[in-house]
Amino acid sequence: MKSLEIRKKFLDFFNKNGHTIVASSSLIPAQDPTLLFINAGMNQFKDLFLGNEKRNYVRATTIQKCIRAGGKHNDLDQVGFTKRHLTFFEMMGNFSFGDYFKEDAIRFAWDFLTKEMELPQDKLYPTVFREDDEAFNIWNKVIGVPASKIGRLDEKDNFWQMGDTGPCGPCTEIYYDRGPQEGCGSKDCKPGCSCDRFLEIWNLVFMQYDRQSSGELVPLKQTGVDTGMGLERLCVIKQGKDSVFEIDLFQDIIMQIEQLTGLKYSEQNAAKKAAFHVLSDHVRSSCFALADGCTPANEGRGYVLRKIIRRAALFEQKLTNSSIFPKLAGALIESMQDIYPELATSKEYITSVLSHEIDKFATNLVRGQAILEKYFSEN
């Protein structure tokens, strides 16, 4: 199933179930100093969860552009080396603001996965927060998942918060079992294990608290639901692929790297494949960040963007001696501009910033190398 069809089925399903379809917000948080980049679908609804704002809907659904490369949720160093981590991804979510809570949230997710996506039930494994018996019982008694398949995990996996402060709560996650051949082989391998066997696809957060800077959890005026499912991960399953880098959303960029380097992705060793992954992920995050108005800088979110571009420049050297990264922007923009027209509007700006950054970095590298060599010869 193509990503386009998955997008449509997701929004249609929740719309049919009373959710207003809301557009993705910009990646740059509007008025939130606690965030570098939008890192989850719920960010644009923070004030609704906190009860500081009312809108003419109590249920919403979105496909949100997210970047996790700095701040509390930061996957930058892992990208390239796992089959599932990305700095830029699209998060599909449904939200309830003082409306439905745990039971409906779980039922919606289960129905979407098993009926709309037709995923086999026996491959789905839920986890709940350690002491959340209510969620455990919904999975077990209402949905009918055997108790032996429901895990209980700690804060690290099953308590979600957007930052050091703000709305948060226990969550239940749904994992997809990709089979023992993907696993680490440990007899303790189960959902939550860091290997590639159990792929976390959906996180359903039961918003209940507002975390204060002191760490205190103040109950929210009303409970809410915030769910997030990575579009790319669902594509991996529905397209029968091994990693996010093989799904349709990455195809054009990988092909472009192949053309520019003369190297065939499928024939490369792990180190070179990692370079393909880094380039194809980083071109997505940098183009989307630039299109939303972020510029490279020496601090804050601009510094995160600069780090992403420089990381791409370093990995580029594993594949070629020429500067191909800015050229990849064209393939990305072409393949995603129908969904995100802001990419096409900023095309020239994006390409020129990327070229300038890479050139500047190359000059710095040459200068740095000379200093290092001088130091070594003198010492």
Interface residue list for ligand SER (CB under 6 A): 40-42, 93, 160, 203, 205, 226-228
Give the residue with the Cβ less far from ligand SER, 26 or 351: 26
Report the alpha-carbon distance of residue 58 to residue 196 in Å, rounded.
Answer: 36
Give the residue with the Cβ less far from ligand SER, 3 or 203: 203
3-state secondary structure of 151: strand
3-state secondary structure of 156: helix
Q: Which residues pair with 169 in a beta bridge?
A: 160
Report the alpha-carbon distance of residue 116 to residue 132 in Å, rounded.
Answer: 28
Give the residue with the Cβ less far from ligand SER, 21 or 344: 21
3-state secondary structure of 261: helix
**Parallel, antiparallel, or unpaired for β 217-230 and 124-129?**
unpaired
Task: State the minimum distance, in angstroms, from the CB of residue 348 to ligand SER.
Answer: 33
Task: State the minimum distance, in angstroms, from the CB of residue 259 to ligand SER.
Answer: 35
Q: Which residue is nearest to ligand SER (CB)?
A: 228
For the chain, how many helices (H) and strands (E)? 12, 9
Task: State the minimum distance, in angstroms, from the CB of residue 56 to ligand SER.
Answer: 22
Give the residue with the Cβ less far from ligand SER, 204 or 354: 204
Report the alpha-carbon distance of residue 125 to residue 191 in Å, rounded.
Answer: 7
Task: State the minimum distance, in angstroms, from the CB of residue 227 to ligand SER.
Answer: 5
Task: State the minimum distance, in angstroms, from the CB of residue 200 to ligand SER.
Answer: 9
Report the alpha-carbon distance of residue 302 to residue 264 in Å, rounded.
Answer: 33
Q: For the chain, where are the alpha helices, taking DSSP H only?
A: 3-16, 46-49, 102-111, 133-137, 155-158, 231-238, 248-261, 270-291, 300-316, 325-336, 342-345, 347-378
Task: State the minimum distance, in angstroms, from the CB of residue 43 to ligand SER.
Answer: 8
Report the alpha-carbon distance of residue 222 to residue 95 in Å, rounded.
Answer: 13
Give the residue with the Cβ less far from ligand SER, 82 or 355: 82
Give the residue with the Cβ less far from ligand SER, 26 or 203: 203
Task: State the minimum distance, in angstroms, from the CB of residue 201 to ligand SER.
Answer: 11
Give the residue with the Cβ less far from ligand SER, 203 or 261: 203
Task: State the minimum distance, in angstroms, from the CB of residue 164 to ligand SER.
Answer: 15
**Most distant CA pair in the chain, distance:** 73
Task: State the minimum distance, in angstroms, from the CB of residue 203 to ligand SER.
Answer: 4
Give the residue with the Cβ less far from ligand SER, 128 or 353: 128
Give the residue with the Cβ less far from ligand SER, 204 or 275: 204
Task: State the minimum distance, in angstroms, from the CB of residue 95 to ligand SER.
Answer: 8
> What distances in angstroms separate CA 193 from CA 22, 145, 184, one per listed residue?
34, 20, 9
Q: Which of 278, 253, 265, 263 is nearest to 328 (CA)?
A: 253
Q: Say how many C-beta atoms besides its own lie within 10 A of residue 377's C-beta.
A: 7
Q: Say how many C-beta atoms besides its own lie within 10 A of residue 323's C-beta.
A: 17
Report the alpha-carbon distance of residue 178 to residue 76 in Å, rounded.
Answer: 24
Give the residue with the Cβ less far from ligand SER, 227 or 335: 227
